[in-house]
Every structure is written in C-alpha cells, then in structure tokens.
Amino acid sequence: MPRTGMPSMPFMRTPPVDQKDWRTLADGQTVTMFTLTNDRGSQARVMTWGGILQSLTLPDREGRMAEVVLGLDSLADYVERSRNFGATVGRYAGRIANGRLELDGREVQLDVGSGPHSSHGGPVGFAKRNWTGRPDVTDDGPGVVLTLVSADGDQGFPGRLTISVTYRLTHDDRLTIDYLALTDRATVLNPTNHSYFNLSGDPERLILDHELQIEADAFAAYAPDKIVTGDLAPVAGTPFDFRTPKPIGRDLFEVNDQLRIGGGYDHSFAVRGQGLRRAGRLSEAFSGRALEVWTTEPALHVYTANTVELVGRGGAAYRPHCGVALETQHYQNSPNRPGFPSTVLRPGETFRSRTEYRFSVS
C-alpha cells in the first residue's frame, strides 16, 4: 500500500521466518517462537502458546523501529497474568450470558470458571493452549500457520473443532490474520485476536491522544450486568461517535451509563457493509504511524485497557489506557440474541474469517 515520508530500507538478509524452541511448559510441551521479517525490516513474533502475537516492530516516519503492541517478557508471565496480550481468543470471544445457549433445541452449558458468564471461551480457552506451528512463506511475505484441535465438550462447547490461524507480515507492512475451522458437530465459534496497540512506540505514553475513526453508525449496548441487550444503539450524539476521527480520550471520561458499565470503551461497533472492508483507522501524530483495520466480521470491539495495571515488556509500567484493542469479531452473546448474525458452525461447513491490520506512516 502507498506510504509517504518513508526512507528507503536496506536490503534485508535476515531469514523471512526464524523458528526457535522458546520455552518448555511444566507438562513437557515445547513453546515455539516464530519471527517473521519482511523486506522493509519490520518484524512480528508469534508464539505457539495462546496463538499469541508477542511482538510487532514497525518504523515511524523517521524509519526508527519500535514496538507497537503490548507484551510481556516471559512465558511464565503469559501463563500466569496474560490479560490476553496478543492472544488468539476462542472458542467464543466476549461473554455468553450465564454460560448458557440453545443449539438445535438443546441447552448447552458452558464452563464459566469463577464468574457468572462464559468469557473468551472459558477458563482454559484458546489463549491458554499450546498450538502447533509451521512456517509459511509466500510472495506476499513471511507467515506462520498455527493449528489447534479442540475436543468435543472442551469448555462445554459441543463438537470436535479443528482451527488454524495464519499470521502473515506482508512486504507492504500489513499484518494479516486468516482463520479457518471445521467441526464434526454443530457448535458456535467467534475467534479474535486480542492485541493491544500503542502506535507511539512507548507503552508508558497513553493512547488518549491517538485518533480513532470507526466505520459504524451503531454499537452494541450493555445491560447493567455488562451483557449486551441485543440492541444496536445509534452512536450519534454520544461519546461512541467515531464516524469522524477524534482523540480516544476526548469523550472517554464523559458521564454516560454505557461508559460507566464498560469502565470506559469496551464495546462492539456495528461495522457498515459486508465482506472484507475497512472497519476503522487509528493514528498517532508523534510517530506518524497509522493503522487501518479491515475485516470480514460484523463488528469491531474496542477496548481501551481500562483495568490494565502491571509491569510489562522491558519493565514498562502498563496502566489504564496504555493501549487499545481493536478486535474483529461477532457480537457478544450472539447465540442468545437471534437478531444478531449467527455464529453457528455445522459439519460440512468451513468457517473463514480474515483480519488485516494495515500500517503506514505519514
């Protein structure tokens, strides 16, 4: 894609995919780290634990490389206090009310862990599994294919599900994520990537002045228990109006019931149109970096790290609003809301979803 103000990059001799065994889990499984390097020198690090995007370094307007996603230093950190940094979340991103849904006339009870609702696929969802991985280099750029088999009854979800996630760092600085899944029994599926972005390159510089624009006229409203009501509320005249670009922090602290329930922005926006289309754009003036989000999914979930507070990569102090997650997905609790697009996957069907994070500088 076109880039302005970008200095030429030297010829790269780094292998496009570097594969290394990174750590060993307590049960003896090996966690593998894949480093993807494109022709511009940009790099993405993806590990098999949690299907996690562990690192993404990209140039600013001066060509200086820096991290643009939040992360942690050690595997132990990811296992014990991950906050889903960069993780592949599933089977179902977001909440399913009381962990219950009806599927083909039968009630399904999901594992809910310590809370009242099923959240992000259950206590031991995709983000807490060790996937298998293999390199996948094409003309577009280096990639890695991660695969996981989720057994029938896993976290209460019916059906033996086989899912693959392909990360690719293209030579024009797009990070593409392709999902493909099959099941042997009717189930529900709603995976997403849970990366937190901070385009400044400094995670201690909050994202309140990042400008965000979202291609949405409505968002999924919450009831007081933070379960979606099933209504798509108009953004016009509310702090949720991002139809034209504005700083994330401009209306974040307004007195508003939805912001109070979410603790800030933690809501799904109804993306206009269908097929692969632009869902939004994030930009940061200090670095000149910009990010366009493209998706085939019906919604873009925006979470402004409202409760994040821990020591992150390199000892950085991560605190509320240190990053913003831009998650492409279906709506929360869709299986219990017939007005929302279906998330049911049946035998003989193939689930496909594509997300593109398109980076540029100005």
Domain count, the chain: 1
Query: What share of the chain has pLDDT > 70, as a percent?
Result: 96
The answer as to whether 155 is a domain residue is yes
Q: What is the mean pLDDT of residues 166-180?
A: 98
Q: Cβ(129)–Cβ(163) under 8 Å?
A: no
- CATH code assigned at 346: 2.70.98.10
What would you report as the CA-atom Rg of the chain, rounded to the nearest whole angstrom?
19
The answer as to whether 227 is a domain residue is yes
Which residues lie closer than 8 Å to 257 by C-beta, 6 or more apart? none
Bridge partners (DSSP) listed for residue 108: 101
Residues with active-site annotation: 194, 327
d(CA 120, CA 37): 30
pLDDT one-digit tens code per residue, 47-86 = 999 999 999 999 999 999 999 999 999 999 999 887 899 9
The answer as to whether 273 is a domain residue is yes
Which residues lie closer than 8 Å to 136 by C-beta, 6 or more apart? 17, 142, 143, 144, 145, 166, 168
d(CA 57, CA 286): 16
Query: Is 66 in a helix, a strand, or coil?
Result: strand
CB atoms within 10 A of CB 353: 21
Q: What is the mean pLDDT of residues 231-251?
A: 98
pLDDT one-digit tens code per residue, 92-127 = 999 999 999 999 999 999 999 878 999 999 999 999
The answer as to whether 144 is a domain residue is yes
21 lies in which domain range? 17-361
Q: What is the mean pLDDT of residues 308-337?
A: 96
